[in-house]
């Protein structure tokens, strides 16, 4: 797949990163999809020692795995809360270049607009791939909410400091802690919720990112821990 490099990741300092995020905020488009996604991708990003590892898995509506790609490289950007996209996107984009099947939508293990500057991994990454994205997080990074009821499908909205909706706290399994769903870009908040539920089976995490995580652990063991 092609990558639309909207900016470089080389030699950026903290101030430059914040400036990039603030400029990109103006380009967020939470607009309805004009189609029903049939091919979806899940992204998992992890680290081992000095390496960054990206996994992308593509599945269809019947949860058949139709493509898997990965890439690893040395990590160049430090861990800075609120700027994780600058640390994680470079390796993701290298994996994305290897992808042959274009998905209709991409799930990221991370935040979308549920971020202090609305620029989580799923949002920031959307500009490079020009596709609708959804952020799926296991914990809250930012915002306030009321706990949803205990049944599967129950949800509440996540609000920023201006009382604007920035995501959904979604119960994907009965009596299990909710996930934090936020649109990355080119999709509405409620669509992000509905599509997440559609691709969630018996586990808490939707299948695209759950499967990507499984393969991430497998590849990490094969490439870095086997010796």
Predicted confidence (pLDDT) per residue in 118-127, tens digit? 999 999 999 9
* Binding-site annotation, residues for Mg(2+): 44, 109
- What pLDDT was estimated at residue 222? 86
Residue 130 zone, left/alpha/beta (φ > 0; ψ -120 to 50; rest): left
Q: How far apart are the first and last CA of the chain?
A: 33
What are the φ and ψ backbone dihedral angles of 144, each rounded to 5 degrees?
-120, 155
DSSP letters spanning the chain? ------S--TT--HHHHHHHHHHHHTT------SS---EEEEEEEEEETTEEEEEEEEEETT--EEEEEEEEEE--S---TT-HHHHHHHHHHHHHHH--SPPSEEEEES-SS-STTS--HHHHHHHHHTS-EEEEESS-SS-B-PPPPSSTT-EEEEE-TTS-EEEEEE--STTSPPEEEEEEESS-HHHHHHHHHHT--SSSS-HHHHHHHHHHHHHHIIIII--
Predicted pLDDT at 21:
98
pLDDT for the residue 226 = 59
In the chain, which residues have pLDDT < 70?
Answer: 225-227
Contacts of 157 (CB under 8 A, 6+ apart): 145, 165, 167, 168, 169, 189
| Distance in angstroms (rounded) separating the CA atoms of residues 23 and 112 | 16
Answer whether CATH 3.30.2170.10 is correct for domain 30-225.
yes
Q: Where are the domains of the chain?
A: 30-225
Binding-site positions read 44, 109
Task: For residue 152, give the nearest of 128, 182, 124, 177 by alpha carbon.
Answer: 177
Place of tokens 């994305």: 96
CA dihedral 126, 82, 118, 187 (to 10 degrees): 30
């Amino acid at each position: 797949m092609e990558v639309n490099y909207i900016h470089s990741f080389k030699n950026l300092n903290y101030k430059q990163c914040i400036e990039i995020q603030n400029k990109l905020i103006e380009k967020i488009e939470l607009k309805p999809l004009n189609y029903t996604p049939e091919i979806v991708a899940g992204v998992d990003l992890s680290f081992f020692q000095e390496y960054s590892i990206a996994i992308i898995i593509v599945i269809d509506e019947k949860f058949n795995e139709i493509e898997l790609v990965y890439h690893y490289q040395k990590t160049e950007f430090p861990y800075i809360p609120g700027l994780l996209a600058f640390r994680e996107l470079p390796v993701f984009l290298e994996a994305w270049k290897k992808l042959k099947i274009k998905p209709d939508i991409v799930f990221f293990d991370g935040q979308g607009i549920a971020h202090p500057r609305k620029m989580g991994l799923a949002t920031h990454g959307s500009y490079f791939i020009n596709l609708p994205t959804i952020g799926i997080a296991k914990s809250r990074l930012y915002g306030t909410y009321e706990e949803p009821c205990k049944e599967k499908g129950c949800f509440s909205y996540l609000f920023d400091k201006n009382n604007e909706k920035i995501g959904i706290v979604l119960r994907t399994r009965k009596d299990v802690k909710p996930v934090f769903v936020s649109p990355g870009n080119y999709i509405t908040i409620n669509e992000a919720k509905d599509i997440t539920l559609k691709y969630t089976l018996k586990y808490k995490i939707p299948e695209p990112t759950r499967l990507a995580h499984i393969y991430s652990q497998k590849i990490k063991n094969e490439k870095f821990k086997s010796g």
